[in-house]
Every structure is written in C-alpha cells, then in structure tokens.
Structure 1
Amino acid sequence: MTTAKALITGNSSGLGLGLSHALLGRDYQVYGCSRRGCAALADRVVDVHCDLSDLDAIAPALDQLLAGVDRLDLVVLNAGILGEIEDMSRVSVERLREIMDINVWANKTILDWLLASGIMVGQIVAISSGAAVLGNRGWGGYALSKAALNMLCRLYAHEFPDTHVAAIAPGLIDTRIIDTICQIDDTTRFPALERIHAARGTETLLSPGAAAERILHALPGLTEFESGSFVDLRQVLAPDEYQALMAARNRPGG
C-alpha cells in the first residue's frame, strides 16, 4: 500500500503543527516548509527551513525538500502573517507589500513550482479567513491578502485541472495571532475585536489540534464544491457560529 504524502507550509507551530500531528496520526508522510523548522517533530517530518518572505529562496528549498517525490495527496498552504490591526489609511504600502509577499506571492511561487515539477497533486487547500469577505475595520492588510489568496486559488484551479483547489476559512484558532489580537483593547474603533476577545475560553476558539481535525474531516466534502472555491468551514460544520459571525459584521457607518 502506497503511503499518502502531504506538504504543509508554516508547520513549525500553530495550525501547521496541528495538521502535521493529525496527518502523522493518519500514517501520512509529512513534508514541512517553515522559517524555524518543525523541531517538535524533527524525527517524523521531512523538513526544510525557508523564509517564505524571501521569494527567491522558495524554489531551491522545495527542490531539496521534495526531491524524488512524484505525488502529493495533499498540499496545505498554511503559512501567513496577521500584520497590524489598524485603519488602512495608517498602513504603509511597503508594509502591505510585506504582508502580500508572505500571504499571497509566496503561495503563487509554490504553486508555480508544483506546476513545473510534474508532481501529481491530489488536493490543494489554502488557509484563508473570514476576514477576506467580512471587511471589518482594522483587518487591513490581512483581509486584503486573504481576499487575494481566494482569487489566486480560483485562478490556479484552471491550471491544475486534475487537482481540487480550495481556499478555506477554518474558524478561530488559538495561535499567536489570537494572542496578538487579544492584546489590543480598542474595541470602540475596531468592534470585531469584541467577538475574538469573547471567544477566549469557549468552544468557539479551537485548539490547533481541534482545528486540524476539523479541516481533515472536511477535506472529502470540499471536493463537492467547484475547484477554486472559497469555503468557510463554519458555514458547513458550525452553521450557528457562522450566522453569528455574519450578524456581527462591522458595517461601514454602523
């Protein structure tokens, strides 16, 4: 029996590490690409260090990591950064470029490498966010980059005709991004912070392991959506939570 293989970016911590654990538990061979490396699973994951903000370093890193691999059953484009919670008018174009490099252009570089490599890929999942469609005040570069990531997946679905591609919002996950958000208390200017602060200590805020299990549980169902789709997993798996999210959207002028 052939061992299933998965590539995960940003696997050193948070959701990427959670996915690595979950896939190893399903007997996958896991390949990881991250800036710090996956020390927690050093003896079980085939890993390469790569700073995804250095776009020129990505292809050589993948050449090394995936040498001899002819099939990947799953690719998870997980790595990303939050940027600042701030009004768009206060975020410089240069900072937006930095966020876009990691959240969008690094993923384009990886997808281009996969196309050129000849590796057969079963399913590609890009980790997006509800921020991509909510447009809440303060989510600036993050929301902009995740919206671009959604469209990137839709466009590349045409170029991966034998691969199912999807961008997904997995829900709130207890990672360093949440730690950063919860240190910001300006809920008057940025009302969407209230929902995230309130999620602390509740089932709404998933552990990385629980979020990984949610994603893997959802994988077969994603293929029922058109390739290139954006899917908020809460809409499928936690509809009450999704309805509450949409009802709390921070509308301009509201």
Structure 2
Amino acid sequence: MQPTILITGATGGIGIALARLLKDHAQLVLLGRNPQKLTSLQTEFPEARTEALPLTDAQAVQALIETLPALDAVVHCAGEVVLSSIQDSQLEDWESMYQSNVLTALVLTQQALPQLRASRGKVVFVNSGAGLRASPGWGGYAASKFALKALADALRQEEPLISVTTVYPGRTATDMQKQVRDMEHAEYQPEKYVRAEDVAQAIKTVLDMQRPSVIEELSIRPG
C-alpha cells in the first residue's frame, strides 16, 4: 500500500518539485493558498487531493485530517519572507512571517499527531539557512525560522514514535527567491542557486529512510 503524504506549499518551488517526485509512489494531499494554482495542481495530479486550507484554523485542519484513512508523513514547505533592517521592520511583517513560517506548521502538526503516532510516521520541516544564522536585513525571517527549528527540536524529543527532520536549503531557484532578489535590488541568477528538484530529492531520501535510522538535520548549499 502506498503511503499517504501531506505537503504544504505544494503550488510552487520545493513543494511542487517534491509532489512531482512522489506522485507515482504515494497518495498525495497537496495544500496551498492560491486557488488558481491549486486548480492547475489538480489537473497535473488528478489522483491527489488538493485543498486551499487556512492552516492556522485548528478546526479546519482537524476536519481534513479526520477524513484521511491514514497519514504517513507531513512535509512543511509553505513559507513567507520579507526583508528589512531591524530599524525599518514593520510589526505586521514579523507577525505575518511568524504565522506563515511557524504557526501553520504548529497547528497542522498538532492535529496530525494521532495519525502520525499510529503510523510511526515522519514530519519534515523545510527550514532555511536563515534558521541557523541571521544576516543583516534577514532578522524577521531568521527569527521565524529559528522558531521553526525549536519546534522541530522539541517535537523530536517529545514524540519518540515519530521521525522528525529539519532540512536547511540555501538559496534555492524558486519564485520566492525571485522575490528575495527583488527585495535585495539584485539580479536573480537561478544557475547559481540550489535546484528545487535537488531539495525534493533530499526530502525523498528522508522519507524513504527506514527505522531505526533517522536523518535529523540536513543542510543543502549551492556549490
């Protein structure tokens, strides 16, 4: 029987690259925020379940999880970035990034725990190099990713039946990276960045790992 794998942020970047890699190997539940992109996603993945779900709405998330006969893995790919110096930071930007980068993962993971315990499943948090070190202009984003690391670290110790992995990609050739380069007033050069497909392959390796082996943390950098 194929495993059931839920992917957030599945409408682009690393999320859709992972979905393409797994489509013949898993029953996919693909979550995103853009209804138009989700329609295209459903066309590309007719066997998958696609949903536009407010991931901080615990009741809505619980309702989705309860409809799944099983759940073997959750991969958190959704995220948001706004660059600004500390001096010029806007509180609403920090709040929005914290919600998108941390609270969505928290709520979904909480609601998925019973299913994941039953399947002895996996949770993969797609973090960032900014989750390990902060740079000028990246304070708000890094703070949210540091918090995501803390969530993963605590979960790993609290839930011995579940494998927990954090992946730290460096700059990756995605639409989000285009936005970042615009904010940095710099050229987007995808050939210099990590390929989303390579991050997806690394996540698949994590998902394929058999107990008792667990990859707890994995960094991927442009060479």
TM range (shorter): 0.7 to 0.9
Decide whether aligned partners of structure 1 residues 159 and 91 sit closer, same or farther in structure 2, where only a CA change above 3 A counts.
same
Decide whether aligned partners of structure 1 residues 139 and 221 sit closer, same or farther in structure 2, where only a CA change above 3 A counts.
farther
SS where residue 138 of structure 1 aligns? coil
Residue in 1 aligned with 2:105? 107
Q: 2:7 corresponds to which letter in structure 1? A: I
Q: 1:158 corresponds to which letter in structure 2? A: Q
Residue in 2 aligned with 1:233? 220
> In structure 2, how many angstroms separate the alpha carbons of the residues matched to 1:90 and 1:223?
47
Q: 2:108 corresponds to which letter in structure 1? A: I
Q: 1:69 corresponds to which letter in structure 2? A: P
Decide whether aligned partners of structure 1 residues 89 and 203 sit closer, same or farther in structure 2, where only a CA change above 3 A counts.
closer
SS where residue 143 of structure 2 aligns? helix
| CA positional deviation for 1:225 | 5.6
User: What TM-score do the two structures reach when normalised by structure 1?
Assistant: 0.75
Residue in 1 aligned with 2:40? 40
- Ranges of 4+ aligned residues in structure 1 off by more than 6 Å: none
Give the root-mean-square deviation of aligned CA atoms.
2.6
Residue-by-residue CA offset, 1:107-139 (whole Å, 9 max, x unaligned): 111111112556535211101000122211011
**Equivalent residues in 2 for 1:64-75 (5 A)?**
64=64, 66-70=66-70, 72-75=71-74
SS where residue 75 of structure 2 aligns? strand
Q: Equivalent of 2:201, from 213, 219, 243?
A: 213
Q: 1:97 corresponds to which letter in structure 2? A: E
| CA positional deviation for 1:204 | 3.3
* Contact in 1 for aligned 2:81/2:180 (Cα 8 Å): no
> In structure 1, how many angstroms separate the alpha carbons of the residues matched to 2:166 and 2:211?
10
In structure 2, list runs of 5 or more residues that go unmatched.
Answer: none
Identify the range of structure 1 (119-128 vs 106-115) with the bigger mean alpha-carbon deviation.
119-128
> In structure 1, how many angstroms separate the alpha carbons of the residues matched to 2:167 and 2:128?
7
Indicate the structure (1 or 2) with the bigger Cα radius of gyration.
1
> In structure 2, how many angstroms separate the alpha carbons of the residues matched to 1:181 and 1:157?
31
1:153 corresponds to 2:152? yes
User: What TM-score do the two structures reach when normalised by structure 2?
Assistant: 0.84
* Contact in 2 for aligned 1:7/1:76 (Cα 8 Å): yes
* Contact in 2 for aligned 1:30/1:46 (Cα 8 Å): yes
Identify the range of structure 1 (29-38 vs 73-82) with the bigger mean alpha-carbon deviation.
29-38
**Equivalent residues in 2 for 1:38-187 (5 A)?**
38-42=38-42, 43-52=46-55, 55-56=56-57, 58-64=58-64, 66-70=66-70, 72-83=71-82, 85-116=83-114, 119-185=118-184
Residue-by-residue CA offset, 1:72-92 (whole Å, 9 max, x unaligned): 232101111012x21022113
> In structure 1, how many angstroms separate the alpha carbons of the residues matched to 2:33 and 2:159?
27
| CA positional deviation for 1:40 | 2.9
Q: 2:205 corresponds to which letter in structure 1? A: H
* Contact in 2 for aligned 1:74/1:121 (Cα 8 Å): no
1:20 corresponds to 2:19? yes
Identity of aligned residues (%): 23
Aligned residues: 216
SS where residue 151 of structure 1 aligns? helix
> In structure 1, how many angstroms separate the alpha carbons of the residues matched to 2:94 and 2:211?
30
Residue in 1 aligned with 2:193? 204
Q: 1:103 corresponds to which letter in structure 2? A: N
| CA positional deviation for 1:47 | 1.4
SS where residue 183 of structure 2 aligns? coil
SS where residue 3 of structure 1 aligns? coil
| CA positional deviation for 1:162 | 0.8
Decide whether aligned partners of structure 1 residues 3 and 212 sit closer, same or farther in structure 2, where only a CA change above 3 A counts.
same
